[in-house]
A and B are shown apart, each in its own frame.
Chain A
Amino acid sequence: MTGRVVRRSREHRSRRRAGRAGGQGLRCTAAVALLLAVVLTACQSSSGNAQDKKLPAASVNQVDPATLADGGTLRWGINELPAQWNPHHANGNLATVQTVMGALLPSPWRTGSDADSAPDPDYVEDVDVRTDPRQVVTLRLNPKARWSNGDPITWRDYAAMAEALSGRDPEFQVAGQTGYDRISSVRAGRDRFEVVVAFSKPFADYASLFRLLLPAAYTEDAERFNSGYLDRIPVTAGPFGSAKFDRTAKSIAVARSADWWGDRARLDRIVFRAMAPEALEAAFLDGGVDLAPLPVDSAAAKRVDKAADGEVRAARAPDFRHLTLNGESPLLSDVDVRHAVFLGVNRRAVAESAFSGLDWRPEPTDHHFLLPGQDGYTDNSGKWGAYDPEKAREVLEGAGWRAAGDGEPRRKGGKELRLRFTIPQGFAPAQSEAELVQSMLAEIGVAVRIDSVPRDALFADHILPGDYDMVALVSNGSGFPVSQFLQQWSTPLKAENGDEQWRANVGRIGSPAIDAAMDEALGSLDPEAALASINDADRLLWDTGHTLPLYQRPELVATRTGLANVGAPGFADIDYAAIGYPRGG
């Protein structure tokens, strides 16, 4: 679930849930439910020392699976029942698909809560990496591993998937090609259970590849790649299998695989059940689901915690919120103005406001690639990270922006220093965040106008065309930070007509030096050297005033008390076979 993979950001998911017409009503539903809950639990005592606990990297109630009960059903609340279950298809690149398919498909590597990856012995016995003369990764496959149709998992499955995802055949509707475009060949080693992957360019994030492997029969042919897993899950190879859909209830049930060769799964069955986010909490409280993602909302967390058989697992989500500045907007194209904004925003105050009401201390972040706790995480912000309105004023003066008296924005050559902060309509946390930034920047003589736009227009009409000054977004971190952020921080592609295509780099700032540092990191198989290059790139991003990281977000999950080895996993991949209930419970 981490990996190179490309999770649709949470913001984006919620964006999909609440559209132009429906959004108001649904938010109204949530507000009413909240109001009622507040009224009905009016006499509950308020918890005293808020924001005193540090959020852990993961909260999954880790227990030795051997001590858990054998059997049981887990009803797992999800937000949607997608149609496309091929996680590598452009339509299947969804968090829900990753959650479900993680129980059903092989991944040669598994990521831990420290974001480091290790081979998963259920599928891969040994990994050998050579770099001379070119990078070659050799996987020794577990010969016991089989697809649900009885075929063994062999090098052919790897070869066919590498070819499909390389982007060489445009008929394959792939979600992305990062990494696969650097593979020159995949062939058999001494037998069919040895996979030799040769790279044309070094690729340090090789452990992000081949996750959620599909059988060759579904990756050799574009038609089967595009529609073989459409509304069905024909072949699996995991601790769970035989997926059964109930499209009326929008649920999908997977059963413990009888022919699983690894440690026997503790649960008999997992039923993934889709509901609107507003209904999921009620479903958890009435026993309809045993596990449900919660909104970052102190009231919801308290209601779940109060339930007799429920608890909230909270961890640092593997993502961070940041303030993106448009480097091509008329006023922010000046790096000094961007740096003044960096200095003028009190990031700690923004983070504390976002965590208000929660019992956990916010975690401000200083990095464009790594999250606190990840190997190599350092503060590269230099002069631009600390809140210093006095210095911000100096920077603006130095750039020729003269103070124009009390409450008035600074001026330069007849222009006023007025910026737009574009936010999605009807999302209260974004509104209060923008107001906070507005009041902070007013202190340094920068006027901010808050532009709230319809949610589905935010990306299409404002961010992607570059019609904005400031916007707050969420980016997913990962154990493969360079693969993850490569497009977000690189210089634009040149289109055939000469236009610059910034694509994922919505801040529209880039430099050959940043590109080179990221390329260096991506090609460096020595972890120390790679981290040094990542930090070089991060330092350059701070220096050029590209995107102000704000804070790492919390992830809250409601679970049944005692349910083990699942919850808020942070960076970690869930071991579905280990999920279970305590004995005698």
Chain B
Amino acid sequence: MTTALEPERTVSVPGEVRLEGVGVRFDFDHLGRVLTPALARLRRIRATAWGLRDLDLQIEPGAGVAVIGPTGSGKTTLLRVLGGVICPDAGTADVRGRVGSLLATDAGLQAPLTGRENAELLGVLAGLSKADAGARIEAMQAGARLGAAFDRPVHTYSEGMRARLGFAVIQVISPSVLLLDEVFEALDHEFRAIVEDYVHELRRRGGVVVAAGHDHVALERICPGALLLDRGHVRAAGSFAEVLETYRGAGSVAPEA
């Protein structure tokens, strides 16, 4: 049966990820504020923390990789690098194919805008033409399953409703690389099943899925592989079960100081 959230019939480009020696650095001033390179010329750097360090990663088409680890281990930073949201300060990141991402609890939505307005905005920002985004609004509405709430401001939405809308937009832009950060935690069981079906279908067609979070049961259902991050470094990589075992046995895995 075809649901509104199934990937389009073809993934235009097979997804692929290659990271080599990737590092993401955060510089802070004496008040703990983040410094950019330009700001660092005006204020003295008092502390530096690496969100990711010397990270090598290769994800082939059709793969699903869960990123696990404690809070502050670099999971979100890694996903942001893959999504092109953050440029690495060291190394190279090569992500092939259109990226669809849900990397924030508010799913990139603008609270004062309605679901419909957000869907159109995010569609265009993700690479659709205005005409294309307009033409696919109905598909987004059907996919989000929000009923009349689709035309209400997003600030009236619950976290789960936001995730639904964000995911419906992703479905329409037809990504080759899907990035999910703690998405399952916000979704009800009905929509979780829809997302899982979508992810399996996407991977079957050559797409790549990278998902982070703490709901390991849900992650294992969509990602056969996993990566354990610890203070910005890869501590373990392999099958989900093996990596989870390492994580559970690793008492010293701690958040970045």
Q: Do A and B bind each other?
A: no
